[in-house]
Amino acid sequence: MSDTILNVEHLNKNFGKKQVLKDVSFSVQTGHIVGLVGPNGAGKSTIMKAVLGLFNYASGTITIDGEPVSPTSHKAMDKVGALIEYPGIYPFLTGYQHLELFSKDSTSKDQIMDIVDKMKMDSYINRKAKTYSLGMKQKLGIALALVDRPKLVILDEPMNGLDPQANKDLRTIILDLAKQGTTLLISSHILSELEKLIDDLVVIDKGQIVYTKSMAELESGSKKLLVLKTSDDAKAKEILAQNNYQLDNGDKFAIVENDQTKMADVIKLLSDNGIDIDDVQHVHSDLETSLLNLLKNDKVKES
């Protein structure tokens, strides 16, 4: 069990009559950053809470590092740090006191100050939390998840309320942690941010896993386009088609790129035929586009 740190198998969960998780199975490789994405109410937080042993579930198994997790079996939680939904903060304690309170005895003061430093919270860490802004509370919540240097970190919407600088800092911290072998399971709506971080993607919709793949696979599966703007688009299309270039069916004038496509050849071909090129752009379909397509074609039916 050394390479899989988290394993979820056939997880089912009901809230009353409504089934919120249907046969959810996925696993998380040690040292990977995994993105858990899906529309609002798809069950992201529910999965995370189940993984943290906060929920009873109807059936299925969850193991962390080989140890089973349920509300009555919490031993594996020693290796886990988490931030779920919104950070839980006592208004009468300072940020530092929160870290002191929730960190393990084995976590030194230096370790606490290290995370404070990395999250750039020094200026207000000794102030009472009731004076904190939303972003400050969020940072404290993230710091609480990371302070014990857990093997598995679960972050639910960690970018909520963070300013662009804090966002960038968080990204650096997450990538550093992953390099050191920490595994992270992150959910976020901000797909452009998530895209910069994750190795693997788990997509959930209406309580079911609809897609699990590595980012590399996702990228290779998506179309890459060469978007052109020329003095005579109609003629250019004709010439390119005659030369076996595949044209995209979209609104824009674009060639679907493959391994053989060379921009220089395209430019040469068109200019030899007396067509001026005004602009050329490479366009990759990003995570957002891929994901929206995926959810649109999604075969999951509402029950």
Sheet holding 224-230, edge to edge: 254-256, 224-230, 277-284
Among 7, 11, 38, 55, binds other proteins (CB under 8 A): 55
Of 45-53, 177-185, 211-219, 280-288, the window that binds other proteins (rule: CB under 8 A) is 45-53
Q: Which is nearer to other proteins, 72 or 297 (CB)?
A: 72
Q: In the chain, helix, strand, coil percent, each to 5? A: 35, 30, 35
Q: Which is nearer to other proteins, 81 or 225 (CB)?
A: 81
Q: Which is nearer to other proteins, 77 or 280 (CB)?
A: 77
Radius of gyration from C-alpha coordinates of the chain:
24
> What is the C-alpha separation between 14 and 266, in angstroms, rounded?
56
Question: Which amino acid, 244?
Answer: N
Least Å distance, CB 93 to other proteins, is: 5
Q: Which is nearer to other proteins, 56 or 172 (CB)?
A: 56
Q: Is 197 helix (H, G, I), strand (E, B) or coil?
A: coil
Backbone CA torsion sign across 217, 221, 222, 228: positive
Q: How long, in residues, is the chain?
A: 303
Among 68, 77, 227, 237, binds other proteins (CB under 8 A): 77
Does 294 engage in binding with other proteins (CB under 8 A)?
Answer: no
Of 89-97, 161-169, 189-197, 206-214, the window that binds other proteins (rule: CB under 8 A) is 89-97
Give, in order, the Cα–Cα distances in Å from 212 to each of 24, 28, 33, 47: 11, 10, 13, 15
Among 11, 89, 185, 218, binds other proteins (CB under 8 A): 89
- Strand ranges for 134-214 from DSSP E: 152-156, 183-187, 200-205, 208-214
Among 23, 54, 111, 224, binds other proteins (CB under 8 A): 54
Does 41 engage in binding with other proteins (CB under 8 A)?
Answer: no
Least Å distance, CB 35 to other proteins, is: 21
Does 2 engage in binding with other proteins (CB under 8 A)?
Answer: no
Does 106 engage in binding with other proteins (CB under 8 A)?
Answer: no
Question: Which amino acid, 171?
Answer: R
> What is the C-alpha separation between 141 and 83, in angstroms, rounded?
6
Among 32, 44, 49, 139, binds other proteins (CB under 8 A): 49
Does 92 engage in binding with other proteins (CB under 8 A)?
Answer: yes
Give, in order, the Cα–Cα distances in Å from 288 to each of 7, 38, 188, 205: 26, 11, 12, 15
Does 72 engage in binding with other proteins (CB under 8 A)?
Answer: yes
Site residues for other proteins per CB under 8 A? 49, 52-56, 71-72, 74-78, 80, 82, 84-93, 97, 100-102, 105, 144
